[in-house]
Amino acid sequence: MIISRKARELTPYVPGEQPGQQGLYVKLNTNENPYPPSPAVEDALRRYRWEDLRLYPDPCSLALRTTIAARFELPVEQIFVGNGSDEVLSFAWYGFFDPENGPVLFPEHTYSFYPVYCDYYGQPYERIPLASDFSVDISLYLERMKEEYAGIVIPNPNAPTGIAISLQEIETLLQATEGKRLVIIDEAYVDFGTETSVGLIERFPNLLVVHTCSKSRCLAGLRVGYAIGSKEVIQTITAVKDSFNSYPLDRLSQKIADIAIQDDVYYDKIRDMIMATRRWFAEAIRKEGWEVLPSQANFIFARYPGASGDAVYHELKSKGVLVRHFGHPGIEDFLRITIGTDREMERLLLLMKDLTCTAG
């Protein structure tokens, strides 16, 4: 059978952990939260009126969007929700980026789905180099923006480095766009120590801020992400969504995400635990000779000078701990390590103290 050229060119994502291997590893490779969702979520699931599943969900996710809107003191028309921030991002791509306007700009080392969306939509892109300390260098964007570009996407903090830029730098970037092109600030990891840029939307209606419930709200299994933007931008993304599938979120996801987003007491507590674990773990492996970038996320990006990233990755995997190794030129020896529980990180630390692999 003939399949389309576009489909032939797609490279399916291969997870580090294969089906059937779940539970075999200490899983520190996909930045999930090591703690369970809040007790309020458990309670709501137990009491959930299962008969309601025969009904279609609210296509507008109004209750959930109202909860999110209240947190940011914005009207509900400025909030969009989708199946994970991945879906929100893909709708934004479709709604705002056109090949004839030039490439989408994003950091050289960043979330691996950005080039995937570009390929999927036939959209050219350009990777803007990181500074020598691996931070996002805004001056390079300002320089590049003198020529045509379709839009800009920057995660803050960036992934996989974990390094954040300041609100002042985001503002400088937005000013340089003169309101002409969409700027997406992907704040998937914002709750682990970075200030949100949502406050800039009022002055810059071309800014779209994307959040997820997968990381700080411990709900990666539910698939809920959302975006905050001007009414005009949200209207466009909503039109894209409605043309694909007018029900972005199922009934259960709308309900559970709503409860989780309101439970600050529990989530602030586990966020603080993750940040404390990040601090001691980074310090401990620095003492073992590792170079660790300053992270504001629920992961760290680190390399061991005495061995190749590939060798360390395979040794840790063979001993039961999965971390993420990208192997891209420039970061080939770095590993991205999700911050797990103290116990998980203690186990990893023991393995790291005892590495047998040699320089590769």
Per the CB < 8 A criterion, the answer to whether 9 and 119 are in contact is yes
Q: Say how many residues touch ligand PMP, by CB under 6 A.
A: 13
Lookup: tokens for 287? 């003492």
296 binds ligand PMP (CB under 6 A): no
In the bound complex, what is the minimum distance in angstroms from residue 5's beta carbon to ligand PMP? 27
84 binds ligand PMP, rule: CB under 6 A? yes
At position 37, the amino acid (one-letter code) is: P
Task: Give the distance from CA 95 to its chain's centroid.
Answer: 20
107 forms part of the interface with ligand PMP (CB under 6 A): no
Write down the least CB distance from residue 111 to ligand PMP, Å.
4
Lookup: tokens for 23: 């539970």
82 or 311: whose CB is closer to ligand PMP?
82
> Does the footprint of ligand PMP cover residue 193 (CB under 6 A)?
no
- 169 near ligand PMP (CB under 6 A): no
Can you tell me which of 159, 170, 257, 282 binds ligand PMP, judged by CB under 6 A?
159
Cα–Cα distance, 138 to 134 (Å, whole number): 12
Q: Per-residue contact track with ligand PMP, 265 to 284, x per CB under 6 A?
A: --------------------
CB of 283 to ligand PMP, least distance (A): 24
Does 157 help bind ligand PMP (rule: CB under 6 A)?
no
For ligand PMP, which is the closer residue by CB, 188 or 260?
A: 188
- Minimal distance in Å, beta carbon 136 to ligand PMP? 13
Long-range contacts of 284-291 (CB under 8 A, 24+ apart): 284/349, 285/349, 285/352, 288/349, 288/352, 288/353, 290/352
Task: For residue 249, report the phi and psi dihedrals to the nearest 5 degrees.
Answer: -125, 140
CB nearer to ligand PMP: pick between 151 and 225: 225
Which CB sits closer to ligand PMP, 163 or 307?
A: 163
Q: Are the C-beta atoms of residues 314 and 320 closer than 8 Å to each other?
A: no
User: Pick from 343, 257, 269, 318: which is nearest to 67 by CA?
Assistant: 257
CB 240 within 8 Å of CB 95: yes
Q: Does 86 bind ligand PMP (CB under 6 A)?
A: yes
CB of 214 to ligand PMP, least distance (A): 3
User: Cα separations (Å) of 192 from 244, 273, 286, 308?
Assistant: 33, 10, 20, 29
Taking CB positions, which residue lies at the least distance from ligand PMP?
84
Q: In terms of CB distance, is 203 or 328 closer to ligand PMP? A: 328
In the complex, least distance from residue 360 CB atom to ligand PMP, rounded to whole angstroms: 27
Nearest to 111 by CA among 217, 28, 223, 187: 187
Q: Is 344 in the site for ligand PMP (CB under 6 A)?
A: no
Can you name the residues that pair with 225 across neighbouring β-strands?
A: 82, 212
**Residue 187 lies near ligand PMP (rule: CB under 6 A):** no
Site residues (CB under 6 A) for ligand PMP, limited to 20-39: 31
Tokens 């005892």 belong to which residue? 354
- Stretch of residues binding ligand PMP (CB under 6 A), selected from 67-75, 80-88, 138-146, 278-286: 80-88
Is 85 among the residues that bind ligand PMP (CB under 6 A)?
yes
Phi-psi region of 61 (alpha: psi -120 to 50; beta: other; left: phi over 0): left
Query: Rounded to the nearest whole angstrom, what is the least distance from the CB of residue 359 to ligand PMP in the complex?
Result: 30
C-beta closer to ligand PMP: residue 34 or 155: 155
The correct pick among 137, 169, 186, 258 for binding ligand PMP (CB under 6 A) is 186
How far is residue 284's CA from residue 353's CA, in Å, rounded to a whole number? 10
Least Å distance, CB 305 to ligand PMP, is 27
Buried b vs exposed e over 145-162: b needs ≥16 C-beta within 10 Å?
beeebbbbbbbbbbbbbb
What is the C-alpha separation between 84 and 68, in angstroms, rounded? 15
Residues that bind ligand PMP (CB under 6 A): 31, 84-86, 111, 155, 159, 186, 188, 212, 214, 220, 225
